[in-house]
Chains A and B, each alone.
Chain A
Amino acid sequence: MLFQLFGAFFRIGLFTFGGGYSMLPMLEAEVVKKHAWATTDELLDYFALGQCMPGLIAANVAVLIGYRQKKLKGAFFSMLGVVLPSLIIITLIAAALKNFAHLPLVQHAFRGIRAAVAALIFGAFIKLFKANVLSALKPAQGKIEKGIKRHLQLFLPPALCLCAFILITFSPISPVYIVLGAAFLGLFFLRGCEI
């Protein structure tokens, strides 16, 4: 059983490109169809839970499912399975690149790649901005608060986004404190609003 958990999550790690939602089809194939460790609905619950907890989504989901099957041992082997493909593949690539990094050809290639990476991160930022900041500006579904609370719900999310950007760009403060501060502000001022 432990070996099955390890093997299933090893394959999930190996065939997940990117992260986040891209691992769902592979999770469903292994966890629901092949091993019946959970139903599709349960899997989606684990996934949603893994997204809104501290920690990497892939590791969270592996631990949640592994623990449900075989307690701490199951959690450990699932987690090991999901990180092992990365460990092997990336170590090999990083070691190879180290030997070729000084070649002019490789340097030109990486200067091109960096421009593409900047564009891809910008794309991710735009997606998150729409989902987490712009959506807060629309009236929430369900009950709409009045007065000061409504104003906080409208303006606090964009303000948090802007403050996080400015603080991280222009001060040496660690992102850890920004996440903690935002969590506290959310706890006190963004209670019960659907963003």
Chain B
Amino acid sequence: MSDILLLCWEFFKIGLFAIGGGMATIPFLAKVAQSHPEWYTLEMLADMVAVSESTPGPIGVNMATYAGFLVGGVLGAVLATLALVLPSFILASLVASGLSRYKENSHVLSAFNGIRPAVTGLIGAAFYAVFKIAVFPDGALNILSLALFFLVLLVSMLKKTQKLHVALYIALAALMGIALKL
């Protein structure tokens, strides 16, 4: 039970500080994987990202449900998700009730001028962590994984592929993984 309380606290913090959309939750979830390796590993986190990107629902909510399920089953999934959106419920209700003219507040705008570049760096770090486990799966460089990484990167950056769905890349990469016996 104390595990689940700790889990709720971690996800409440993520809901409060992961600013800027679903991807921003990844660096926080990666830190949790490092401090609680008994909950889930970085490998499992990469799998969570894949499932969350290619199923319905906002990524951030999907990630919380998945991580919560790994830690505490169905109860863990429900509590982690609710803990994640609790800060939104409190803060957005305050803003909607007009307690502060939030958006025009110049303090808020200048704080976000600092937050946005920092969050960019956090997501860069999340990329580095996932890249390491994807391309160095057993501690040694896997050339095929590296090639697959560059292939997906190049194809996804082409102009013509911008409208393709992420799930398509993930499905093709799964097939490649099976075909190449990665």
Give chain A nearest CB distance to B25 CB in angstroms.
Answer: 8
Taking CB atoms, residues of chain B closer than 8 Å to A83 are: 57, 61, 65, 81-82, 85
The stretch of A29-37, A50-58, A141-149 in contact with B is A50-58
CB proximity to A under 8 Å, residues B5-23: 13, 15-23
Pair B174/A109 contact, Cβ less than 8 Å = yes
Chain A CB count within 10 A is highest, among B16, B88, B116, B169, for B88
Residues of chain B lying within 8 A (CB to CB) of residue A17? 53-56, 165-167
Q: Report yes or no: B93 in contact with A160, Cβ–Cβ below 8 A.
A: no
A95 close to B (CB within 8 Å): yes
Task: For the complex, give the distance between the alpha carbons of A82 and B81 in Å.
Answer: 11
Given the contacts A79-B85, A186-B115, A16 and B22 also touching, CB distance less than 8 Å: no
Binary interface encoding of chain A residues 90-127 relative to chain B, with 1 for a CB under 8 A from any of its CBs, else 0: 11011101000000010011111111111111111100
| Contact across chains for B51 and A108 when beta carbons are under 8 A apart | no
In the complex, the answer to whether A93 meets B55 with C-beta atoms within 8 Å is: yes
A58 x B58 contact (CB < 8 A): yes
Q: B182 CB to closest chain A CB, in angstroms?
A: 4
> Hey, which chain B residues are within 8 Å of A85, CB to CB?
56-57
Distance of A169 from chain B, by nearest CB (Å): 5
Task: Look across to chain A and name the residue whose beta carbon is closest to the beta carbon of B173.
Answer: A116
Kindly state whether residue B37 has any CB partner on chain A within 8 Å. Answer: no
Question: By the criterion CB–CB under 8 Å, are A184 and B114 in contact?
Answer: yes
Interface pair B148/A16, CB less than 8 Å apart = no
B92 surroundings in chain A (CB, below 8 A): 50, 53, 55, 59-60, 63-64, 67, 75
Q: Given contacts A75-B89, A187-B114, are A164 and B121 in contact (CB under 8 A)?
A: yes
Give B96's nearest chain A residue, CB to CB.
A67
Verify B119–A164 contact, CB threshold 8 A.
yes
Which residues of B lie under 8 Å from residue A160 when comparing CB positions? 114, 117-118, 121
Do B113 and A133 touch across chains, with their CB atoms under 8 A apart? no
**Contact partners of A121 in chain B: CB under 8 A:** 23, 26, 49, 123, 126-127, 130
Residues of B within 8 A of A116 (CB): 50, 148-149, 152, 169-170, 172-173
B91-124 interface (Cβ within 8 A of A): 91-93, 95-97, 102-103, 106-124
A90 to B127, CA, bound (A): 23
If A59-B84, A174-B31, A179-B19 are given as contacts, then 14 extra A-B residue pairs at C-beta distance below 8 Å, sorted by A number, are A13-B56, A49-B95, A56-B22, A64-B95, A85-B57, A95-B69, A105-B178, A115-B148, A121-B123, A157-B117, A164-B125, A182-B118, A186-B110, A186-B114
Cβ of A19 within 8 Å of any chain B Cβ, yes or no, is yes
- The distance from the CB of A50 to the nearest CB of chain B, in whole angstroms, is 7
Within 8 A of B (CB), among A137-195: 156-158, 160-165, 168-169, 172, 174-176, 178-193, 195
**Residues of chain A from 33 to 78 with CB closer than 8 A to chain B in the complex:** 45, 48-60, 62-64, 67-68, 71-72, 75-76
State the main secondary structure of chain B at its contact with A.
Answer: helix
- Contact present for A89 and B55 (CB under 8 Å): yes
The answer to whether A110 touches B177 (Cβ under 8 A) is yes
| Residues in chain B near residue A23, CB distance under 8 A | 58
Q: B112 and A186: CB pair below 8 A?
A: yes
Once A72-B93, A117-B170 are accepted as A-B contacts, the answer to whether A59 and B119 lie under 8 Å apart by CB is no
Residue numbers in A under 8 Å from B182 (CB-CB):
108, 111-112, 115
- Which residues from B are CB-within-8-Å of A24? none
